Amino acid sequence: MPDTIEILCKNYTNLTDEEIETIKKIGVGLQTMANLEDADFFIDCLTTDETTAIVVAEAKPQNVPSSY
């Protein structure tokens, strides 16, 4: 079953399956990175029109307020 990152990437980007898999692997560690750095982390991907981007994954730090 596809996850949210895969669904968003397939619906809104021109990324290959291999590129999507790489993003999914990075996405697994976003919460850990956000907590270690006390910062918001997110992954943006260029959309099919190549003029805008979409956030396909995000993590907010759990121990400090989010910047957003």
In a domain, 26, yes or no: yes
Would you say residue 1 has pLDDT above 70? no
> Is 64 contained in some domain?
no
Which H helix or E strand runs over 44? strand 41-46
pLDDT at 68: 85
Express each pLDDT in 3-29 by its tens digit.
Answer: 999 999 999 999 999 999 999 999 999
Burial class of residue 16 in the structure, from the number of CB atoms within 10 Å of its CB (0-12 exposed, 13-18 middle, 19+ buried) = exposed
Asked if 44 and 53 touch (Cβ cutoff 8 Å), the reply is yes
Q: Identify whether 10 is part of a domain.
A: yes
27 is a domain residue = yes
Domain count, the chain: 1
Structural domain containing residue 15 = 4-59
User: What predicted TM-score, i.e. pTM, was given to this entire model?
Assistant: 0.87
Quick check: 57 pLDDT over 80?
A: yes
Q: How far apart are CA 60 and CA 44, in angstroms?
A: 15
Summary mean pLDDT of the chain: 95
- Specify the pLDDT at position 22: 97
